[in-house]
Amino acid sequence: MRVLLVEDDQYLVEILVENLVHQNYTVDVAIDGILGWEKAQKISYDLIILDVDLPRLDGISLCKRLRSQNITTPILLLTACNQREDKVKGFDAGADHYVVKPLDLQELSARIRALLRRRQQAPPTLLEWEQLRLNLNTCEVTYQGKPLNLTPKEYGLLELFLKHHQRVFSLDVIIEKLWDLEETPTENTVRAHIKGLRNKLKIAGIPGNVIETVYGLGYRLKQPSSPQPEPKKISAKSLQHQPKLNQAIVQIWKRYQTKICDRITILEEFYLSLQQGKPDQNLRRQAQQEAHKLAGSLGTFGLGRGSVLAREIEQLCESPTLTSEQIPHFKQLVFKLRQEVEHNAPHSPPLPPENPNLPLIKSSHQVWILSQDHALTQGIQTASLNLGIDSQILTEQSVLSNLKKTSQNPPNFPIVFLDFDYYHSYELVTQLTEQTPSIPVIVLTEQKNFTQRVKVSQAGGKAFLQKPVTSEQINKVIMDVLRQSCTLNAKVLIVDDDSQILEAFQALLEPWGIQTFLVEDPRHFWESLETTNPDLLILDIEMPYLDGIELCQVVRADPRWKSLPVIFLTSHTNGDMKHQVFLVGADDYLTKTTAAPLLVNRILNRLRRTQTLRDSSGNVY
């Protein structure tokens, strides 16, 4: 099989070529759209893989040009955009499929095999599922010889599923296959048509749902009643079965790591131009391009969080001008991105643990899945793998056994998907969320029970998802948790005359990437405030020379610091003292007897909310 790869990202090209050659494909490479066009005219390929964002001629335009010349070769688009309008543009241009960056090599290989199989197979005229028949020539549908009266859309749905026995169709793909762009329906409309088809098949006497819901992915045709093998579990560790390919990717990373760091340097140079008040628009466009390429390729190297950060940087670069509150945020994102690339570089896979029931935590983050629903776990694993995150299917016992390992490595915690239909335990939710750091728990269930939703929230659940869940929902939840788990890179100034308290706070906060500046003598407070320019101020109340209330009044009287968040820390618990500190402008009030996990969470939440408010309202301090 001969494949044309049109991609301008050189180190991504090497990864893809290595992967394709490893599967015995012959690969030709073009680094821009014009060269791709010239090669496609000269040689008859079995498959063309196009990046959308190409120099000289973009992938969408090239796809249109190929189809206008009656080149029917299957076309697979590679894109960093996952919006519906972008997908529609690609399909409208004549593409057969698309894969969203960052790429998962296993998924890409499966897509390629599916496209090549599709081209080799002649379309049947009679589609069958057990005793259900659909005649493509006469458009008749029968079950056990009796006709079924279906609407055109119900007929189209059934034809789609019968033609592709093994394929799962998302709502977006169903819309693209069966509806014109001018009459694009809502997802609820599509669900209504599927429900109508199911009802008619049930009335005809077919037991169960012929059209199955695959949680997190979409819908597919139910497998025949004969026993079927369980779906293969997807895991990042499956790459370990391809040692040569995996080692090749590590070698590619080593060759291009310097170039990747150079791309981050361009982002840093753009930030410096912003800081100096002289933004260079050419440099901005270059930074946007480099961030775009990093977002598309880092996930392929297993740096899923790096892709998330690069995507956010790219979005900021899309604006011709950055506001005063966006500039420090841009700096923070670039700083985190460099840390991610330097500290989590790809390496040869470790040996598997001796005890499979107690897996060791190897990556900076993991997804733990507690469910016996194979379709749901497959959807979550696929989403995790696309972000370069390892996932494991565990039992309640093995989760509890792993808690000690996670507690030793803050903030390297897992993200837990807990299926309440199989593991209904509020106690487990509480136990996970009360860890230090708190472990995010996403609860999933088919039950529509508001009381259950409230109890999960009270137990500390991060999110509550109603089944069926879409792949977009799963991706969004994971990415939200990843963003919040990024080290804050914040500065906290703590003023307390108790040196033990100061050292305790420093030990608690520094693992989260928070710089702590300690002032034991309040007479040195103002000098430290102006020198450190903190994001948060923590004040003890009772101190010699100057108490915390007096310091807070001074801060609030200065226009530069009036918006600085202030938390009071005291041994007092009486209501009068609380009233007094809030009168002088406190944002929060903590007692020294508060448990350490609660102290940390209150401070982290305050910093995150402050950053969000600052980004949206423009407050700068």
Contact partners, residue 161, CB within 8 Å, separation at least 6: 169, 210, 211, 219, 220, 221
How many whole angstroms separate alpha carbon 263 and alpha carbon 256? 11
> What's residue 166's pLDDT?
67
What is the residue type of 109? S
Q: What angle do CA 46, 50, 51 make, to 5 degrees?
A: 160
pLDDT tier at 93, thresholds 50, 70, 90: confident
Nearest to 387 by CA among 409, 357, 367: 367
Across 521-547, average pLDDT: 91
The pLDDT tens digits for 40-68 are 988 888 899 999 888 899 999 999 999 88
Question: Over the chain, what is the mean pLDDT?
Answer: 79
Average confidence (pLDDT) over 268-288: 86
- Give residue 571's pLDDT: 67
Task: Answer yes or no: are the C-beta atoms of 540 and 517 closer than 8 Å.
Answer: no
Q: Which long-range contacts (CB under 8 A, 24 or more apart) does 120-123 make?
A: 123/163
Q: Are 549 and 581 in contact (CB under 8 A)?
A: yes
Q: Rounded to a whole number, what is the distance in angstroms from the first to the last CA of the chain?
A: 61
Which secondary-structure segment (H or E) carries 119? helix 105-120
C-beta separation of 37 from 59 below 8 A: no
Residue 434, amino acid: E
Would you state the pLDDT for residue 212? 84
Residues 6+ positions from 69 with CB-CB distance below 8 Å? 41
Q: How far apart are CA 548 and CA 539, in angstroms?
A: 5
- Calpha distance 97→30 (Å, rounded): 20
Q: Please report, as a single letter, which amino acid is at residue 541.
A: I
Give the count of beta carbons closer than 10 Å to the beta carbon of residue 171: 19
Provide Rg for the chain, Cα atoms: 28
pLDDT of res. 619: 44
Q: Are the C-beta atoms of residues 78 and 171 closer than 8 Å to each other?
A: no
- Residue 413 pLDDT > 60, yes or no? yes
User: Given this model, what pLDDT does residue 596 score?
Assistant: 61
Specify which of 213-217, 376-380, 397-401 reaches the highest per-range mean pLDDT. Answer: 376-380
Among candidate residues 99, 90, 87, the one with its CA nearest the CA of residue 12: 99
Alpha-carbon distance values, 150 to 138, 144, 154, 186, 207 (Å):
13, 16, 6, 21, 18
> 37 pLDDT exceeds 90?
yes
pTM attached to this predicted model: 0.37
What value does the mean pLDDT take over residues 226-249? 45
pLDDT band at residue 349 under the 50/70/90 scheme: very low
What is the Cα–Cα distance from 174 to 599, expressed in whole angstroms? 49
- 3-state DSSP assignment of residue 611: helix
**Per residue in 419-469, pLDDT tens?**
998 888 888 888 888 776 678 999 999 888 888 888 888 888 889 999 888
CB 452 within 8 A of CB 461: no
Give yes or no for a contact between 316 and 328, defined as CB atoms under 8 angstroms apart: no
How distant is the alpha carbon of residue 314 from its chain centre?
A: 16
Q: Give residue 370's pLDDT.
A: 92
Predicted pLDDT at 528: 93
Pairing of strands 97-100, 126-129: unpaired
One-letter amino acid at 242 equals: Q
> Rounded to 5 degrees, what angle do the CA atoms 183, 188, 189 make?
40
